[in-house]
Each structure stands twice: as C-alpha cells, then as structure tokens.
Structure 1
Amino acid sequence: MNNTQPAQGELSVMFSGEGKPNPGHGIGPAVHNYYLIHTVMGGRGAFEIDGRRYPCARGDTFIIFPDELFTYTADERDPWHYAWVAFKGLAAEHLLLGLGFSAANPIVRARDLRPLGSLYRKIRGTLEQTPFPELADLEAGGYLRVLLKELGLQNEGKLVFNSLAILPDIERQIKRAVRWLSYQYAQPISIEELSRSLGYHRTHLSKMFKQVTGVSPMQFLLKVRMERAKELLNEQSHLSIDQVASSVGYPDALYFSKQFRKTFGCSPSEYRAQARGG
C-alpha cells in the first residue's frame, strides 16, 4: 500500500505491505534511496548487506539502509512470509542509529511478533484509500514511530540513546548541534552563532564537531542540504532549480548549482534529467 502524500519532514512512510514470495525468489543486488524494514512472520530466507549474510526466520527483522548494496532471497523449501514498511526523512538515520541499528547491525530478533504484526496492519490500513491523504500520512508516521519503538525494545541491549547522558558535555553539545543542523538546514545558518549558542568558541566547536562526526559543521550542513536537494529534484518536478535552491538554504541558485556539481559531478538540471531517464 503506497502513501499518496508522503511528507517532506523528519519521518514519513512511503509504502507498506505483506506477502509470501515464491520459493527461491530474490530481490537484488540493488540499492535504495530510502529505508526499508522487513519482519519475517513465518518461513525462512536470507538477507545480505554490507558484505554480510544473515539467515532469517520467524521473528527476525532486517533493515535495508539507503545507498547500501543488498540482496534478500526466500528459502527454496520454506519461503518466508513477511511484512514491510519503507520510509524516509531527516530524522530516520538518527532514530535508527539511536536504536542500535546500522548497515553493520541490521538485524533484530523479536520475542513477540504480535505487536509488530498489529502495527504493520495499522500502517497499511491507514494508507488505504482515504479522502484525507495528508492526515493518513500523519497517522502512518505515528504508527511507524511506535513500530520503531517496539523494535528498539527488542534490541534493548544495543540501544544507544541512553549513552547521551554519560557522554562528556562537549559530545552532548555536538549531538545537539547535529540535530539542529539537520532540522534547520533550510534557514540561514551561521556556525559562529551556533557556537555562541552552545557556549563554545567557533574554532573549538569545529574541532570537536569533526572529532565526533568526522566532518566539519559546514561539511555536515552541505551534505544535509545536498541530499535534501536530490530528494526535491527527484520528487518535486514542479519546483524550479531556483525554488529547490531556496528550499535547501541557498538564496543564490548559481552558487547552489556550483555546490551541487562539486558534490555530485553534475548540475541540478542534469541530475533531474538523469533521474527521469532523459
């Protein structure tokens, strides 16, 4: 079941479904630009991502991450039956990492499938034909958050949210800066002002930010803006390049285009044409 009005915010369901593939049926090798969760309700199969293979059976959930090469295949003798949900959003990566999931740790084994099955059904039911697709998107996103919470409870030994409380103060501040940049990317952003608001000199904050994240604050902001621009170019064909630029925090469309080409090796117009198959 597809979401006809997916939001462009922090978390939004794209589609959801349930099925039982034929014996030996496989998907991939492939790469997605969104997150995709499967929970195995019965049977068996195998999931591979990041060069690792994971046999899966009833109670197992596997998570496909964007831009990661993956494959999954139903067992020849006892093909799996699974439910799935696809989603994207600015908060998706942060939420999954906080729950202990990554391409290197994409599996959780549930002790009780009943709440998960119920939530998948509610997500699909919400996305069925409705006169208010925007409201359905809100409701489906709420059920998705509860589903992620349930998966987090099953994965409690690997939860990392609580680690924020025991981090040194500077690391807590960096994580707050990361969240702020991720949500406010469309606004005029001054790293100087961000530094002052957190109580650090810009040079010190930049040094610690890179130590924690591996990139400078401006490099992180650029990545967030460019990835969002790709989404808009793909999904919002009615927006002009100037409008896309403004939507991701660049009042100067020419400068935006230069940054986009520097990041992806092509102009925004060329990228949009390629995405359309033109």
Structure 2
Amino acid sequence: MADHYKISTKSNSLPAHGELSVLFAGEGKPFPNHQIGPSVHNYYLVHTVLSGRGVFEIDGLRYECSRGDTFFIFPDVLFSYTADAQEPWSYRWVAFKGHMAESLLLTMGITPLNPVIHSDNLRPLRELYRRMKDTLETAPYPELADLEASGLLRILLKEYGVCNAGKLAFNSLTIVPDIERQIKQAVRWLSFQYAQQISIEDLSRKLGYHRTHLSKMFKQVTGVSPMQFLLKVRMERARELLLGQHHLSIDQIASSVGYLDALYFSKQFRKTYGLAPSEYRLRHRQSLQAQQQEKGQSHL
C-alpha cells in the first residue's frame, strides 16, 4: 500500500460464530504521520508496537506508545492512531470477536479506560502473532484454521494478562478482597449461563451478598451492572444466532438466549442494535446479496 513501507495481512476465510474467533492478523510499518481514524469498528483490534512510536487515542484519551506497548481497540468505541513523524512505528496486529471476548479482556483488566499494556519481552508476543498469521495463510484445511488461530489467540491473551499483572481486575493474590474473586465468578457464571432464567436476587444468593452491595461492587469492578452485563452477553449471542447458518426463528433465538417472551426479546434487541431482529437479519442478507452481485459484475 502507498501509505506503508511494508504491510502484510491475512484474513480468516471461515471465522466461527462463538466464544472467540480471529478475523485477521498482520504486520506493517506505515509512513510518518500515517493516521487511521477517527473511526469505530465492530470488532476488537489489537496492535503490539515492535519499534518506533506513535499516538493512540480512544474515547477522548491519548496515549503515546512505543516499543513494547500494546494498544486495544474496542467495538463501538471511537479511536484513532497516528505514526510518529520522525520514528514511525512498526507493529503486528490481530482482530477478533466473540461473546467471550469482553469478559476475557475484563478479567485481565483491559478496558477502554485501561487500553494500553507494556511488555519488556516481545519475543513470545511476536511469535504468537506470526503463528496466527501463518495459520490463516498456509493452513491446508481452511475450515480448521479458525480452531488453531483461536487457540493461539487465547495464549496471546494469557500473555497480555501476564504483561498486565499489576492491573488485573481479578488478581488471584491473597491480598485481593474476596468480593472481587466473587465478581470474577459472577462474570464467568453470567457468561456461560446467559440462556437460563437469571435474576440479580439469584446471583446474590449464589454468592452470599446482599443484592445492593453486589450490584455496587460488580459495577465498580466491571463498569456495568450485573443485568447490563447479562444483557450485553445475550444480545451479542442473539446477533450471532440471527446471522448464523441455523436459520432459527425469532422465538427459538429468544429462548436460546434466556427470554421466554419473544416480544420482550425483540424490544431489547431493537434498543441495542436499532432494528428488530427480523429487520436486522433481512438487512444483513440484503447486504450479502449486494456484495455477491458486485463481485459477479466485477468478473464480467
């Protein structure tokens, strides 16, 4: 590309709809002052700076990044990043999505308010980025590449957590209050049990705290209330089911994400995504058909 000294990226041809899936991975060295954004993505995008420097801005906050820094871009959060005029950075990146992505990053203390971590040892990070890209590029079975790439991504996330050990939201050391360990358990429970009928009273009884205290501590640690967190998990899963290959009915999707009332589910979905579930699915299909028609015309 004309705005990079070098750039190489590889996309996942068959990304899965589930807990965690790599969308694409790559590496590059842009020209001085090269800027991306201000923009918004609908997926997570992570860059690890290998050399040089630049500026990363997210949600109104500004960070000067250099070798060893990793910065995180979050879905639906405004960001931009710019290479330095004198020492433009080089970096590797990976994009991913999945209904477990948010809670996994939250576990490691990585949020839009804490979007940059640092590592003095880039070797394991560099190697994992390389292996993910190679997997997407050379896998003999593309349908299995996502499985391997997502496994490597989980290891990479673990490395991020090691780098960010001093800021872990759910540090396992004994000095961490019991309530934070319980919040970690609550996050995991909500992330896996979203299809069940869940109330804050049930969660409070399970953890042994008064609902008011639990809600306060949950929001202090995660930034949202338990029910807001549950709603986000459910809506992301519902979206995946709507766009998946199973062709489930709206009633079936509502039931699959914990709603007995499909009408109430549709109202919640509209509040989240701006469209009723059926309209959202139709728009997506129309968009895919338009893309296929464009591709067909381009080959004529």
TM-score tier by shorter-chain length is 0.7 to 0.9
One-letter code aligned to 1:213: F
Where does residue 149 of structure 1 map in the other structure?
A: 158
The change in CA–CA distance for 1:67 and 1:178 in structure 2 (over 3 A counts) is same
**Could you tell me whether the CA contact under 8 Å between 1:47 and 1:72 is conserved in 2?**
yes
**Could you tell me whether the CA contact under 8 Å between 2:103 and 2:187 is conserved in 1?**
no
The change in CA–CA distance for 1:226 and 1:43 in structure 2 (over 3 A counts) is same
Where does residue 63 of structure 1 map in the other structure?
A: 72
Counterpart-to-counterpart distance in 1, 2:280 and 2:64: 37
Counterpart-to-counterpart distance in 1, 2:109 and 2:227: 27
Note if 1:140 corresponds to 2:145.
no
One-letter code aligned to 2:266: S
After superposition, give the CA deviation of every residue in 1:38-67 in whole Å (9 maximum; x if it has no partner).
011222221111212112222221111222
Q: Secondary structure at 1:160's aligned position in 2?
A: coil
- 1:17-36 aligned at under 5 Å gives the runs 17-36=26-45
**Could you tell me whether the CA contact under 8 Å between 1:261 and 1:267 is conserved in 2?**
yes
Where does residue 92 of structure 1 map in the other structure?
A: 101
Q: State the aligned residue count.
A: 274
Comparing 5-14 and 44-53, the one that deviates more: 5-14
- Among 119, 122, 126, the residue aligned to 2:131: 122
One-letter code aligned to 2:22: V
Comparing 179-188 and 161-170, the one that deviates more: 161-170
**Could you tell me whether the CA contact under 8 Å between 2:170 and 2:184 is conserved in 1?**
no
One-letter code aligned to 1:210: S
The change in CA–CA distance for 1:252 and 1:167 in structure 2 (over 3 A counts) is same
One-letter code aligned to 1:155: N
After superposition, give the CA deviation of every residue in 1:160-190 in whole Å (9 maximum; x if it has no partner).
3325755555553343232112112134546
Once superposed, what is the RMSD of the aligned Cα atoms?
A: 2.9
User: Once superposed, which parts of structure 1, at least 4 consecutive aligned residues long, lie more than 6 Å away?
Assistant: none
Where in structure 2 are there 5+ consecutive unaligned residues?
A: 1-9, 291-300
Q: Percent identity between the aligned chains?
A: 66
Query: What is the TM-score with the length of structure 2 in the denominator?
Result: 0.77
The change in CA–CA distance for 1:142 and 1:258 in structure 2 (over 3 A counts) is same
Counterpart-to-counterpart distance in 2, 1:102 and 1:223: 15
Query: What is the TM-score with the length of structure 1 in the denominator?
Result: 0.83
Counterpart-to-counterpart distance in 1, 2:168 and 2:179: 21
One-letter code aligned to 1:73: T
Instruction: Return the offset for 1:234.
Output: 5.2
Comparing 186-195 and 8-17, the one that deviates more: 186-195
Q: Secondary structure at 2:19's aligned position in 1?
A: coil
Counterpart-to-counterpart distance in 1, 2:234 and 2:80: 29
Counterpart-to-counterpart distance in 2, 1:199 and 1:36: 34
Instruction: Return the offset for 1:19.
Output: 1.2
Comparing 168-177 and 143-152, the one that deviates more: 168-177
- Among 229, 245, 256, the residue aligned to 2:238: 229
Where in structure 1 are there 5+ consecutive unaligned residues?
A: none
Note if 1:106 corresponds to 2:115.
yes
Where does residue 206 of structure 1 map in the other structure?
A: 211
Counterpart-to-counterpart distance in 2, 1:83 and 1:248: 35
**Could you tell me whether the CA contact under 8 Å between 1:164 and 1:172 is conserved in 2?**
no
Instruction: Return the offset for 1:256.
Output: 2.0
After superposition, give the CA deviation of every residue in 1:223-256 in whole Å (9 maximum; x if it has no partner).
3212322344456695543443343233543332
**Could you tell me whether the CA contact under 8 Å between 2:18 and 2:240 is conserved in 1?**
no
Q: Secondary structure at 1:162's aligned position in 2?
A: coil
Comparing 7-16 and 128-137, the one that deviates more: 128-137
Where does residue 171 of structure 2 map in the other structure?
A: 162
